[in-house]
Amino acid sequence: MHVKRLAGIGKLAMLGAAAALLIHVMRTADLGRVADLLRGGGPWIGLVLLPFLAAVAVDTWAWQLILDSLPRRVPFHQLLRLRVATEAVLLSLPMGAALAESLKAYLLERRFQVPAAEGISSIAAQKNLLMFSLAAFLVTSVAIGYPHLAGGSEQIVGAPGLPWFILAGAIALALAASLMSILLVHGSMAERVHRVLLAIPFRGVRDWLLRREERFRDIDHSFTPIARGRGRLGSAALLLYLGFLIEAIESYWILRLIGADISFVQVLAFDASVTLIRSAAIFVPAGIGFQDAGYLAFFRAFAVPDAANVGAAFILVKRAKEALWIALGYAMLAAMRRKQRPARPRRRERGQGRRRGLPRVLFICGSRNQTTQMHAIADELDGEIEPRFTPYYFDGWLLAALRRLRLTEISIGGYRMTRRCRAYLTEHGLPIDEGGRRGDYDLVVTCQDAVMPKNILGSPIILVQEGMTDPDGFLFRLYRAAPWLVPRWVPSTCCTGMSDLYDRFCVASPGYRDFFIQRKGVAPEKIGVTGIPNFDNCRKYLDNDFPHRGYVLVCTTDMRETFRYENRKKFLARCAAIAGGRQLVFKLHPNEKLARATREIRQVAPEALIFQDGSAEEMIANCDELVCQYSSVVYVGLALGKRVHSYFDLAELQRLVPLQHGRAAANIAEVCRELLAAESGETPAQAPAEGAVAHTANA
């Protein structure tokens, strides 16, 4: 009891010291100035959640490589979910690291039937590699940041030689990791731990350990196949090193967002040491207080301007980010405790038949353009089906959490776009089934496959091209290289058609058919060239009541709102040069921030007319010249013979222009009839052949 009491007093002392350090850090700051620094970060502050997710994903990848050496394999996305859930325990509780590792082994066995011995072996191997990786990262920090560490040594440790102290810590960590490796490889680590634990002077604990002696031997035996996979272990170590680098990038990003005058080399110099401090403070949740004081000490030693306030703002952002991930992690743990939901109904076999009465069809809408496209297709099937409409929706814990945090507002699944879509459906008296909750539809017609909700995958699905796709940027290439790591919705519309979870894909033109096959890898047998509603008869927009004529129209894009780079000042200057004194009219993207965009335009073109609502197509019909960035309305200008300026290659756009036959909705409705007939067993469903495509094009 005396030992337990001393241990309890020691833990309380550690927690008290942590609280005192945190209070000291915050008391030295001017809270008004801290608030100004945080406001300076703007909405970009919300994106600091992403590097943490990337670091956890890399850590999960390393763990999966180790588990691959064992007979049982856990899918990456499920392992990532488990990893985020246990990270909440690690960050929020004293001795969180030990508790989180125990919970990992428990959940591996409980949810994925990985024997406890194998789960513990994989976790121990990963921790061993983590020690090597942290040692390497400490050496990197000294090699790159030596001048900064040497210059700040007196202020941080009260003596010269801080870089050598850090190197000594790295060497000690590497030696400890090497000793652990030897014990793991030679199959005696768990047995030695068991012998040490038997020395605990509590009879109940000793009896429990003796009953489980065989399990400890099983853990040692499970290390053998892991040790043989040296290539996997090497790759896992590199990934764990990358995880530390991502954490340093996160720190640098936060500091730059709040306006700190600091270089990445300086951040790299101190981040590894602060990570080591945090790891050593095991009795304190997330190293709170100790880690924070460490950051502030380095900021002052490196002569960061306004160090006290920058440190307080930086710590608040870091801790707020951790709090959000802790909340998400515990929500996942709670979800894991629920009973397994019954499996969703399997898709009916073709020819099995459907219920009596009209077939039920779900139309998944989105933006105004996508919603009116779905409406037009449904109108062509009037009297033949029982239609239901829904705004675009997500499933899955991650997207649901991001949506609740309002981090999906730039997409068609955000609250704002959903509200607009619902208003349109209500205004036109269209029956709504929010999220397709009624289920068991005979057919689903959707405007986008970036997210394919699970509750529609048991039905035949038709995907309809909305319009232009985003350029194939870095995120698209990353998705192509590692689709298991980067969700399809991250690169956005440039991944249109790449889910392969649909039965038919209706596209705008023969040019787009080739584009999706050659550039996106879409199966040729699934594509039908039907044209797309809203872009299949652009001449109809010539008959309009828009009051202006003979101007230069500029249709902007929401690049800044979707976190893509745009030099708006340069673009506006180009628009003014193109106009050459003629009237300028701006049609802003619905997602754009109206006040900011208007202010910027007024500085360059004070007499310009600015609209955020209204029909862009009718405005194009009345203009003399059209200036676009990345917008599908460029096709309206090309179809009407307007002079067009675009960020895309105009020759490529001419090849992709949607068919102008005015029958897109009717053609897509015919594809719906074919799939419904095949589902009921009346006729086989066949993709349009080349002849059928040509016939459709001339219809």
Q: What is the pLDDT of residues 4-19, one digit of tens each?
A: 454 445 545 555 555 6
Give yes or no for residue 510 having a pLDDT over 50: yes
Q: Is 157 left (phi over 0), alpha (psi -120 to 50) or beta?
A: alpha
Q: Looking at the structure, do residues 388 and 484 belong to the same domain, yes or no? A: yes
Helix, strand, coil percentages for the chain (3-state, nearest 5): 60, 5, 35
Tell me how long the chain is: 699
Write the DSSP assignment of 412-442 as a string of letters.
TTSHHHHHHHHHHHHHTT--B-GGGTT---S
pLDDT in tens, 185-213: 655 554 555 454 545 555 554 554 445 54
Average pLDDT (650-658) is 90
Average pLDDT (219-245) is 78
How far apart are alpha carbons 653 and 656 in whole angstroms?
5
How far apart are alpha carbons 556 and 534 in whole angstroms?
19
Residue 483: strand, helix, or coil: coil
What pLDDT, on a 0 to 100 scale, did the predictor assign at position 344? 40
Give yes or no for residue 598 having a pLDDT over 80: yes
- Asked, for residue 351, whether it belongs to a domain, the answer is no
- pTM (whole model) above 0.85: no
pLDDT in tens, 85-132: 888 888 888 777 778 888 888 888 877 777 777 777 788 888 888 889
- Asked, for residue 182, whether it belongs to a domain, the answer is yes
Q: Looking at the structure, do residues 509 and 580 belong to the same domain, yes or no? A: no
Average pLDDT (157-180) is 86
What pLDDT, on a 0 to 100 scale, did the predictor assign at position 629? 84
Residues 6+ apart with CB under 8 A from 477: none
How far apart are alpha carbons 317 and 323 in whole angstroms?
10
How far apart are alpha carbons 349 and 365 in whole angstroms?
27
Most confident of 102-116, 229-243, 368-382: 368-382
- Asked, for residue 29, whether it belongs to a domain, the answer is yes
Give yes or no for residue 290 having a pLDDT over 80: no
Average pLDDT (643-661) is 90
How far apart are alpha carbons 447 and 390 in whole angstroms?
11
Q: Looking at the structure, do residues 122 and 228 belong to the same domain, yes or no? A: yes
The CATH number of residue 380's host domain is 3.40.50
The pair phi, psi for residue 193, each rounded to 5°, is -60, -40
Point out the domain boundary residue: 273, 302, 336.
336
Point out the domain boundary residue: 303, 321, 336.
336
Strands 504-507 and 461-464: parallel
Question: pLDDT class for 390, splitting at 50, 70, 90?
Answer: very high
Average pLDDT (446-468) is 93
Among 360-374, 556-570, 636-650, the least confident range: 556-570
How far apart are alpha carbons 86 and 80 in whole angstroms?
10
Give yes or no for residue 698 having a pLDDT over 60: no
Point out the domain boundary residue: 320, 336, 352.
336
Give yes or no for residue 621 having a pLDDT over 90: yes
Average pLDDT (361-381) is 96
Average pLDDT (495-505) is 93
**Residue 641 CB-density burial (10 A; 0-12 exposed, 13-18 middle, 19+ buried):** exposed
Q: Looking at the structure, do residues 680 and 629 belong to the same domain, yes or no? A: no
Question: pLDDT class for 219, splitting at 50, 70, 90?
Answer: low
Residue 54: strand, helix, or coil: helix
The CATH number of residue 572's host domain is 3.40.50.2000
- Asked, for residue 418, whether it belongs to a domain, the answer is yes
Most confident of 302-316, 344-358, 541-555, 640-654: 541-555
Residues 6+ apart with CB under 8 A from 429: none
Q: Which of 174, 91, 95, 161 is nearest to 134 (CA)?
A: 174
Q: Looking at the structure, do residues 474 and 557 belong to the same domain, yes or no? A: no
pLDDT in tens, 399-442: 887 888 788 887 899 998 999 999 999 999 999 999 999 888 99
The domain containing residue 320 runs over which residues? 2-336
Average pLDDT (345-362) is 63
pLDDT in tens, 330-346: 888 877 765 343 334 44
Exposed e or buried b per residue across 399-434, where buried means at least 16 C-beta atoms within 10 angstroms of its C-beta: bebbbeeebbbbbbbbeebbebbbebbeeeebeebe
- Asked, for residue 343, whether it belongs to a domain, the answer is no
Contact 629, 557 (CB under 8 A): yes
Question: pLDDT class for 690, splitting at 50, 70, 90?
Answer: very low
What pLDDT, on a 0 to 100 scale, did the predictor assign at position 639? 92
Q: Looking at the structure, do residues 504 and 617 belong to the same domain, yes or no? A: no
How far apart are alpha carbons 41 and 172 in whole angstroms?
39
What pLDDT, on a 0 to 100 scale, did the predictor assign at position 286? 66
Higher pLDDT among residues 403 and 674, named by residue: 674
Q: Looking at the structure, do residues 623 and 667 belong to the same domain, yes or no? A: no
- Asked, for residue 353, whether it belongs to a domain, the answer is no
How far apart are alpha carbons 467 and 155 in whole angstroms?
60
Q: Which of 294, 304, 320, 301 is nearest to 22 (CA)?
A: 294
What pLDDT, on a 0 to 100 scale, did the predictor assign at position 26? 65
Contact 313, 37 (CB under 8 A): yes
Q: Looking at the structure, do residues 202 and 75 belong to the same domain, yes or no? A: yes
How far from chain centre, in Å, is Cα 37?
Answer: 26
Residue 553 token pair: 């129209």
Q: Which of 268, 288, 312 is nearest to 34 (CA)?
A: 312
DSSP 104: H
Question: pLDDT class for 351, splitting at 50, 70, 90?
Answer: very low
Question: pLDDT class for 693, splitting at 50, 70, 90?
Answer: very low
CA geometry: angle 87, 89, 90, nearest 5 deg: 60
Report the percentage of the chain scoring pLDDT > 70: 82
Most confident of 3-17, 153-167, 310-324, 498-512: 498-512
Residues 6+ apart with CB under 8 A from 683: 674, 677
Q: Looking at the structure, do residues 542 and 529 belong to the same domain, yes or no? A: no
Residue 614: strand, helix, or coil: coil
DSSP 456: G
- Other Cβ atoms less than 10 A from the Cβ of 78: the count is 12
pLDDT, the chain, mean: 81
CA dihedral 222, 223, 225, 226 (to 10 degrees): 130
Instruction: Look at the chain and report how many structural domains it folds into.
Output: 3
Exposed e or buried b per residue across 310-342, where buried means at least 16 C-beta atoms within 10 angstroms of its C-beta: bbbbbbbbbbebbebbbebbebbbeeeeeeeee
Average pLDDT (614-625) is 93
pLDDT in tens, 553-591: 999 988 777 767 788 999 999 999 999 999 999 999 887
Q: Which of 472, 648, 646, 483 is nearest to 575 (CA)?
A: 646
What pLDDT, on a 0 to 100 scale, did the predictor assign at position 186? 58
Q: Looking at the structure, do residues 106 and 23 belong to the same domain, yes or no? A: yes
**Residue 264 CB-density burial (10 A; 0-12 exposed, 13-18 middle, 19+ buried):** middle
- Asked, for residue 684, whether it belongs to a domain, the answer is yes
What pLDDT, on a 0 to 100 scale, did the predictor assign at position 204? 55
Q: Looking at the structure, do residues 627 and 602 belong to the same domain, yes or no? A: yes
- Asked, for residue 348, whether it belongs to a domain, the answer is no
What pLDDT, on a 0 to 100 scale, did the predictor assign at position 419? 93
Q: Looking at the structure, do residues 563 and 667 belong to the same domain, yes or no? A: no
